[in-house]
Amino acid sequence: MTYQAIDLNRLYKEKVFEISAVKLNTCSTKVTLCCVYRSPFENPNYFLELLEKTLNLVYQPNVSLIICGDLNINFLVDSSVKQNLESIMKTCNLTQAVTFPTRICNNKGTLIDSIFLDNTKLANISVHSFDSGLSDHIAQILTLDNMSHLLNVHIQRKLG
């Protein structure tokens, strides 16, 4: 697998929009992976504006896009911020893949950690939780079966 870092420093704003991105290439699949953080104390509308600018920079119709991270926007509660985020993501055909609470506090669950992807390009995906006990957040593990299979075939060809 080859990779290339994507420079998004001009959009980076500490606590408002912290982002890193990489383009991954397997033998037949290209994926752009972006990891994002937004502090719960910062303006979500400014975050959404910077996210939209990022999508305009990194989105390519022939490359699968995955956006993940701690967005601090609760998907278990309907809100205008959640609706605006979903609307922005739909412009690139991205949908939320996490369906379980990712943080439990005072016996209340929130879904503030997200994975957005285009499941028409990335088939056979699964997302499940993993509580390591090391954080107040529950980790999400994304498995992309088609990429693992392609990577395994590619490695076997090189070794065989």
Phi/psi for 73 (5° steps) reads -125, 115
Residue 133 predicted with pLDDT over 90:
no
Q: Is 72 left (phi over 0), alpha (psi -120 to 50) or beta?
A: left
99-108, 129-138, 148-157: least confidently modelled range: 148-157
110, with CB counted inside 10 A (0-12, 13-18, 19+), is: middle
pLDDT at 18: 97
pLDDT at 151: 46
80 to 24, 42, 73, 159: CA distances (angstroms): 33, 16, 10, 52
Of the pLDDT bands very low, low, confident and very high (cuts 50, 70, 90), residue 159 is: very low
Nearest-CA neighbor of 110 among 66, 72, 61? 72
d(CA 139, CA 16) in angstroms, rounded, equals 22
75 to 51, 86, 115, 127, 140: CA distances (angstroms): 17, 10, 11, 16, 15
Nearest-CA neighbor of 20 among 32, 6, 10? 6
Q: What domains, with CATH codes, occur in the chain? A: 2-159 (3.60.10.10)
- pLDDT over 90 for what percent of the chain? 61
Of the pLDDT bands very low, low, confident and very high (cuts 50, 70, 90), residue 155 is: very low
**Residue 111 contacts residue 76 (beta carbons within 8 Å):** yes
Condensed to tens digits (0 to 9), the pLDDT of residues 85-130 reads 999 999 999 999 999 989 887 878 898 999 999 978 877 788 988 8
pLDDT at 154: 40
d(CA 100, CA 150) in angstroms, rounded, equals 28
**Reduced to 3 states, what is the DSSP secondary structure of residue 73?**
coil
pLDDT at 128: 84
pLDDT at 126: 86
